[in-house]
Amino acid sequence: ETGVTQTPRHLVMGMTNKKSLKCEQHLGHNAMYWYKQSAKKPLELMFVYNFKEQTENNSVPSRFSPECPNSSHLFLHLHTLQPEDSALYLCASSQDEGGTYNEQFFGPGTRLTVL
């Protein structure tokens, strides 16, 4: 595997389900991100992790719960979602060094549909 991978690529879930999205980066980067891309809206940053520590949480509802067990893996745990949470969820990674934040590389995304 190369670059940034995400599984599953497609997910359909009911509002009472619990599911998790997985992201893995094979680039040796130290920062990872979750973005949400809804129809007709700009990409929204949800969470940022640097060296496994969460550094940003952009007012995301608690029904989204991130987890970063190491600098290569990032999860997004989902529970009691709403239909308006249906979107493409994109993971990204970057190599940040000494205050220099480099370009982010994105995975293919998980297309989530909440019924």
Partner 1 sequence: AQKVTQAQTEISVVEKEDVTLDCVYETRDTTYYLFWYKQPPSGELVFLIRRNSFDEQNEISGRYSWNFQKSTSSFNFTITASQVVDSAVYFCALRPGSARQLTFGSGTQLTVLP
Three-class SS state of 2: coil
> Quick one: 5 or 65, whose CB is closer to partner 1?
5
Amino acid of residue 66? P
Near partner 1 by CB under 8 A: residue from 7, 38, 54, 55 = 55
Q: Does residue 104 touch partner 1 according to CB under 8 A?
A: yes
Q: In terms of Cα–Cα distance, which of 13, 10, 7, 22 is closest to 85? A: 13
Across the beta sheet with 64-70, the strand order is 4-7, 18-25, 73-79, 64-70
Q: Which of residues 77-96 bind partner 1 (CB under 8 A)?
A: 88, 90, 92, 94, 96
**Contacting positions for partner 1 (CB under 8 A):** 31, 33, 40-43, 45, 48, 50, 55-56, 88, 90, 92, 94, 96, 99, 101-109, 111
